[in-house]
A and B are shown apart, each in its own frame.
Chain A
Amino acid sequence: MFSALIKIFFFPGFLFMATYSLFLEYLDRKVYARLQNRIGPPWYQPLADLLKLLGKETIIPAGANRRMFQTLPVISLCATASAFVYVPVLGKASSGAFEGDLIIVLYLLTVPTVCLFLAGWYSRGVYATIGSVRTLTQMFAYEVPLFMALLAPALIAKTWSVSGMTEFYSKHPLYILLNIPALFVALVAGQGKLERAPFDLPEAETEIVSGALVEYSGKLLAIFKMSVDCELVLIASLISAIFMPFMTGIAFLDFLLYLIKTIAVLLFLALMRSSMARLRMDQMIGFCWKVLTPIAVVQIILNLVIRGGLAL
């Protein structure tokens, strides 16, 4: 009981995720800056930003729904933290692993996006409303390819558990090569999920100021930002657990490998962010449905055929 609590709240649970999210945010900003020929922030900048926001006054707009406005950031962060329990960090198994936890993770991944939509909707601002509608529209574009890409490897592994998939693929590392198209789809759709350029329409600063979160300030904004950062950790961990399950068997080395893998995912996402212009909504939806979804469908068919053909 006690060790389970430690695992959930401290390591590799919430506290680790929060700390690591600050580090990944720093790395993301630093790499983004270096790619743009800038110096970038010092290592403590994300923490300083967080503390600054926590100390600021929280303003709730008069027209907003007070209760929803205050609870949504917390729900968003909780959902991300809960999902993290099912993602393996230390070794092959996550602390809360059970058969079918992949579905739970995918479900919990949707919650922050819906929270963001509701947050914008309940703030009652023009920019917030447009931003939240964009959040939802964008969700319908990337959600399908993202889910299909994450489910395709499960077909070969014959398990609906993230830990089970890691276990299977670390035993049969050659099967990973089959999932490379799905990895690509997951990375790109993950970028959409995280609402980063070129898919940062919901918070497009030059168009709708900062979208759904425009009315948020102070502690509530800090929690929302934290939840977005944690989502980054979650996506990076999930992708590295499913698509790069290389293990040594030694706990310490595995943890190092985990760091290297998640940082590799982050570097790819940062590179993508810095080398493209923001897409328009119609272009984004067209791209997700015409490019990403067909690739994911082909991957699923391929995996089904292989599963049948090899009689795994």
Chain B
Amino acid sequence: MNENEKKGTNRIVIPIGPQHPSLKEPGCFTIVLEGEKVVDAHIGIGYNHRGLEKACESRNYIQTLYLIERVCGICSHTHSTAYCQGIEELTGLSIPKRAAYIRVIVAELERLHSHLLWLGVAAHEIGFDTLFMYTWRDREKVLDILADVCGNRVNYGINTIGGVRRDIDDEMLKNMSKVLDFLQDQLKYYLDLALTETTLSARLAGIGKLSREEALSFGAVGPVARAAGIEEDIRVIEPYAAYPEIPVKIVTDTHADVFGRTIVRIKEMLESLEIIRFCIKNLPGGEIAVKAPRRIPAGEVISRTEAPRGENIHYIRSNGTDILDRIRVRAPSEANWHGMRHMLQGEYLADVPITIAAIDPCYSCTDRAIVVNSGSKTEVMDWQALRQFGIEWHKKRGIDLSAIKMPERKIYSL
């Protein structure tokens, strides 16, 4: 604050995070305020790095599947789908139709529960706890069907390389239809509420503006991009699983702000209900999985899926053994962080939490180990350099780890 006093301004620097009631995961947002107005914001993420990508490189393909499912706690299915799709493409497997439909059903149920969760969190951020309680109550119903279908509320573990692990029977479908009808009424009510409740629209409209051009230049994905009028949905532009056979409408909006993102998400949930209904009606019979080989032929692949938060990209490189060579997960939140500083500038402090929440950030999916030197130069360390760095770091503190032998890793190059 002293520096600012010298400059003669009334700037206050307030940290939001790493631990803060409005953040569900650690992240540090340093907000520079003039009165209640935000003049600048610094986005500090990286508190949740877990080294998952690296860990995948020392496990076989089936073990990696379970690890990849844990990239995100909310949209775990979309990650395992992207991973399985990639491996299936590398091996040339084509999965049974029934498996593809089950994947779509679980993916859409996941979208439902993720968007309901978001709606609740967003309502909580603007102090509307009643809506928060309502949406999370409805989300329980979705989680109940997911538990019914997959055996788990989150981290469903239904995908496997070559298909799915569990079948859906008629009783599950009947239960599902009942819940879908219930949700239809609820979602219509929420849409009505968002459009008519004045305090809600007063708090959401005009906040976190990201116009079509800005969204494109910052590379925004998912509901953030669609709320700016960009027709981008992997389910339509590059259909995977059973999506080629299912009519999917892209939900867009022209508000380009938090209000638009809310409307897009609620309408997307209504669209998801239609997709699940279509799947229930047209669920084909037959096998649910084909046998997959343990060793995957060498090659590299990019696999894309539409996560609830946007486009999810997996890059997989295999080297002909039963362990993959490199996997890179580009979670959707990673693409949406870039526009955040722009969205926060010129806002009121009161709107900061909801603006951050509006991209539905998922911190741990995004965090990677990238070394930042003096804040300007960024470099990515390779395995050897990282190990060397670790050894020296510990040496300075009096521990010598250089005697520990690490297995040699062959770098496969095409």
Residues of chain A at the chain B interface (Cβ within 8 Å): 35-38, 126-127, 129-130, 197-198, 200-201, 204-209, 274-283
Contact = CB atoms under 8 A, between A and B. Distances in A.
Nearest to A36: B133
B130 A278 contact: no
Nearest to B15: A126
Given A126-B14, A209-B21, A280 B137 contact: no
Interface of B: 12-15, 20-22, 36, 123-131, 133-134, 137, 197, 199-200, 202-203, 348-353
Contact of B126 (A126, A127, A208, A277): A277
A282 B347 CA distance: 12
B199 A206 contact: no
A283 B36 CA distance: 13
Contacts of B197: 276-277
27 contacts: A129-B12, A130-B14, A130-B349, A197-B127, A198-B127, A204-B127, A205-B21, A205-B22, A206-B124, A206-B126, A206-B353, A208-B349, A209-B20, A276-B128, A276-B199, A277-B131, A277-B197, A277-B200, A277-B203, A278-B126, A279-B199, A279-B203, A280-B203, A280-B350, A280-B351, A281-B348, A283-B203
Contacts of B36: 281
Contacts of A37: 133-134, 137
Nearest to A204: B127
Q: Of residues A127, A275, A276, which shows the largest number of chain B Cβ atoms within 10 Å of its Cβ?
A: A276
B130 A207 contact: no
Please name the 7 residue pairs, one residue from A and one from B, whose CB atoms are nearest each other, closest first.
A278-B127, A277-B128, A206-B22, A36-B133, A277-B199, A276-B199, A277-B126
A74 to B, nearest CB: 28
Nearest to A33: B133
Contact of A207 (B13, B131, B202, B352): B352
Contacts of A279: 199, 202-203
Contact of A280 (B12, B200, B348): B348
Nearest to B202: A283
Contacts of A129: 12
Contact of B12 (A38, A126, A205, A209): A126
A209 B20 CA distance: 7
B410 to A, nearest CB: 49
Q: Of residues B12, B134, B202, which shows the largest number of chain A Cβ atoms within 10 Å of its Cβ?
A: B202
A278 B128 contact: yes
B348 A277 contact: no
Contacts of A209: 20-21
Contacts of B13: 126
Contacts of B15: 126
B48 to A, nearest CB: 20
B28 to A, nearest CB: 14
A206 B12 contact: no
Nearest to B23: A206
B127 A282 contact: no
Contacts of A280: 202-203, 348, 350-351
B137 to A, nearest CB: 6
Contacts of B20: 209
A274 B353 contact: no
Given A37-B137, A281-B36, A275 B352 contact: no
A127 B14 CA distance: 8
A207 B351 CA distance: 8
A149 B170 CA distance: 64
